[in-house]
Amino acid sequence: MPGRLDAPFVHHDLIPALGPIRLDELAYEHTHHFVQAQLTAGRGRPTIWHILATLSSAIGDAVRQHRLPVNVVRPTVLPRPASAERTIWTPTQAIRFLRHCHTADPDFADLIEFLIGTGLRKGEALGLHWDDVHLGSRTGYLRWTLSAIDNNKLALTVPKTRKSSDSYRAALRLWSRPSNAPTSMERPRPATAPIRVRPGEIRVRPRPSTGRCLE
């Protein structure tokens, strides 16, 4: 069933366009016309694909519960857009960027260094809770991720798969510093100092008693 991240697609796109059609009367031609109308209106192909994926997930659930015989959204009218080719930094480029960040914005530099060292996604790192991070054993548990809902609202959501949590536990053990170099988690910080998290200028103040953030 669609989750919170899919709710805007359901309420703003699918219900207005396909809501009047009975579920057992929904046909492939309806989704075809919907896609053509969205393209004509100037909607991006990745957005339309996500809308169709949301619809397909809901109908697929109905098929599994024997409420519908087939998933009429399959095969999809619009193929999944190919991901843009990513340029991977060389170690020299990463070091140069980190040196600049440590001078311009140490907190942001710590976040980037943590991402590079663990391989976590940005939302996964920003969703960490102190209770799930164990510095002594260099292990942690990925229970939350910071997600942008409809590109205008932030919320802590549960990771979709367990794979990310497993890789995080393994990667954190490999993330190391010289013993005399404190990490941002270990470095003393005034209780009133905001922790800067980008993008979006989200400011989270640690609790004076525990120093915990993002709880």
Q: Is residue 215 part of a domain?
A: no
Burial of 53 (0-12, 13-18, 19+ CB in 10 A): middle
Computed over every residue of the chain, the mean pLDDT equals 75
3 state DSSP class of 182? coil
Q: What is the pLDDT of residues 45-65, one digit of tens each?
A: 888 998 998 899 889 888 999
Phi, psi of 53 (to 5 degrees): -65, -35
82 falls within a domain: no
Nearest CA-CA partner of 76 in 94, 62, 59, 90: 59
Which one of 23, 49, 64 terminates a domain? 64
**Partners of residue 197 on adjacent β-strands:** 202
pTM of the model: 0.48
Identify the CA nearest to 30 among candidates 16, 41, 39, 17.
Answer: 17
Domain count across the chain: 2
Q: Has residue 95 been placed in a domain?
A: no
pLDDT attached to residue 35: 92
Q: Is the same domain home to 58 and 123?
A: no
Query: Is 138 among the domain residues?
Result: yes
3-state secondary structure of 27: coil
Range of the domain at 23: 4-64
Q: Is residue 90 part of a domain?
A: no
Measuring CA to CA, which residue among 183, 188, 191, 195 is closest to residue 108?
Answer: 195
Q: What are phi and psi of 173, to 5 degrees?
A: -65, -30
101 in a domain, yes or no? no
Specify whether the backbone of 129 is left (phi greater than 0), alpha (psi in -120 to 50) or beta: beta
- Coil, helix or strand at residue 41: coil
pLDDT digits (tens, 9 = 90+) for 4-48: 557 778 888 999 999 999 988 999 999 999 999 999 999 988 889
In a domain, 109, yes or no: no
